[in-house]
Structure 1
Amino acid sequence: MIGYKKNDTISFEEIFPLYEAVGWTNYTSNPTMLKNALEHSLFLISARDEEGNLIGFLRAVGDGFSIVYIQDIIVLPEYQRQGIGTQLIRQTLEYFKEVYQMILTTDSELKTLAFYESNGFTALSKVGCTSFMANPLL
């Protein structure tokens, strides 16, 4: 059975392999940034197997009152499509049920869009909004 723990203490050494497993090279090529980002996160929820091994997590940033931004949600490939990502999202939404806005950014693959829509998210374009991004490093 998969166990979930809100605000779990997850070490950098434990979490880094999950970023590697899903090929998120922006993080893995800059481990100092990742370590700092993890240390300054607002919220972490872990998913662990029966032996206590980290198999997935969700990381959120924000102020926790007016906005929470789901920054990362990762489930090891061999555990995907088993409801773990859905459970991570649902528990996060419940934890922050009084927050005005829950935001996330993702790629536009149809399966990814369907996953987030099935978990209660609406594309900003469907409510007359858009998003912008600035990256001073580019």
Structure 2
Amino acid sequence: MSIQYIESSVYEEEQIKALYDNVKWTAYTDDIPKLVKAIEHSLAVITAWDNNKLIGLIRVVGDGYTIIYVQDILVLEEYQNQGIGSELMQRILYKYHDVRQKVLLTNDAPDVRAFYEKNGFHSCDNEGLVAFAKMKE
């Protein structure tokens, strides 16, 4: 298997929908045109491909100078635990290595926490920081 990583701004709705549906992020796929617009307006998007099949994606928002926010990182279930997510993350972290604040918000599960800690992130509750979020009701 030879995975290709591409920074791009061209996306096919069907492949985007298949990827997000596969990882059960259906809140996004309820409105595919909105999701595609969100991806297109991201600061950066790096995708992972197995031949012509979209298997992973990371996207960040922010200003790219003082802060980036990792909005989405996802890999098809059948390709998980093969280092693809870490490779996507490392490519983004390299691209924005000079940015002071690299932030993300995710669910608190042991495997999720382990993934982000492995990639150099620290939980705010362990660093004397506090994080707040207001979600649409």
Common fold by TM > 0.5: yes
Alignment match, 2:96:
96
Unaligned runs of 5+ in 2: none
1:133 to partner: Cα distance: 1.2
1:8 to partner: Cα distance: 5.0
Alignment match, 1:45:
46
* Residues 22, 74 of structure 1: 8 Å contact kept: yes
The 5 Å alignment of 1:1-138 reads 1-49=2-50, 51-135=51-135, 137-138=136-137
1:7 to partner: Cα distance: 3.2
Unaligned runs of 5+ in 1: none
Residues 18-39 of structure 1: per-residue CA shift (max 9 Å, x gap) = 0000111110112233122112
SS where residue 42 of structure 2 aligns? coil
Q: 1: CA distance between counterparts of 2:117 and 2:133? A: 22
Residues 76-122 of structure 1: per-residue CA shift (max 9 Å, x gap) = 00000000000000011001111111111111000110011011000
1:72 to partner: Cα distance: 0.4
* Residues 8, 46 of structure 1: 8 Å contact kept: no
Q: 2: CA distance between counterparts of 1:134 and 1:108? A: 17
Percent of residue pairs bearing the same amino acid type: 42
Q: TM-score, normalised by structure 1?
A: 0.92
* AA of the residue aligned to 1:122: H
* Residues 61, 68 of structure 1: 8 Å contact kept: yes
SS where residue 59 of structure 2 aligns? strand
Q: 1: CA distance between counterparts of 2:11 and 2:94? A: 21
* Residues 18, 55 of structure 1: 8 Å contact kept: yes
Bigger mean CA offset, 121-130 vs 8-17? 8-17
* Residues 13, 32 of structure 2: 8 Å contact kept: no
* Residues 9, 40 of structure 2: 8 Å contact kept: no
1:44 to partner: Cα distance: 0.3
Bigger mean CA offset, 7-16 vs 34-43? 7-16
